[in-house]
């Protein structure tokens, strides 16, 4: 299932071409359109270190940090409920896909 979140056009940098996040079963994709191009950045969900929110009264900035030391995915001007949903979706995926601890072998 794919979840799509688009920044509000009322916020800086999003008037003509709002930034969009797409969260799939495997990846987080950030798309920022320009007049004649699209900048697309992708992080696999297993490589997400943390999700940070900087919330105001109506809108929030979203920062998704990767474990590989690459550039963070940053987007300004998402509705607060959408920003929280982005954080929760990534957290749910990480919780479901935690490595299962191997049982200790007895009598070695």
Residue 6 predicted with pLDDT over 90: yes
pLDDT digits (tens, 9 = 90+) for 43-99: 999 899 999 999 999 999 999 999 877 788 999 999 999 999 999 999 999 888 866
Alpha-carbon span 81 to 41, nearest angstrom? 23
7-27 confidence digits (pLDDT tens)? 999 888 888 999 999 999 899
Give me the residues paired with residue 67 across strands. Answer: none
Give the chain's domains with CATH numbers. 3-96 (2.30.29.30)
Residue bearing the bigger pLDDT, 60 or 101: 60
pTM metric for this prediction: 0.83
* Complete edge-to-edge strand list for the sheet that includes strand 20-23: 3-6, 20-23, 27-33, 38-44
Q: 32 has which bridge partners?
A: 39
């Amino acid at each position: 299932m794919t979840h799509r979140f688009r920044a509000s056009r009322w916020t800086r940098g999003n008037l003509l071409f709002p930034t969009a996040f797409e969260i799939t079963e495997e990846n987080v994709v950030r798309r920022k359109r320009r007049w004649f191009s699209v900048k697309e950045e992708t992080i696999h969900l297993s490589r997400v270190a943390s999700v940070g929110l900087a919330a105001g009264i109506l809108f929030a900035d979203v920062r998704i940090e990767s474990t590989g030391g690459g550039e963070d995915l940053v987007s300004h001007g998402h509705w607060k409920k959408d920003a929280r949903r982005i954080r929760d979706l990534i957290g749910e995926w990480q919780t479901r896909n935690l490595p299962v601890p191997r049982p200790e072998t007895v009598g070695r």
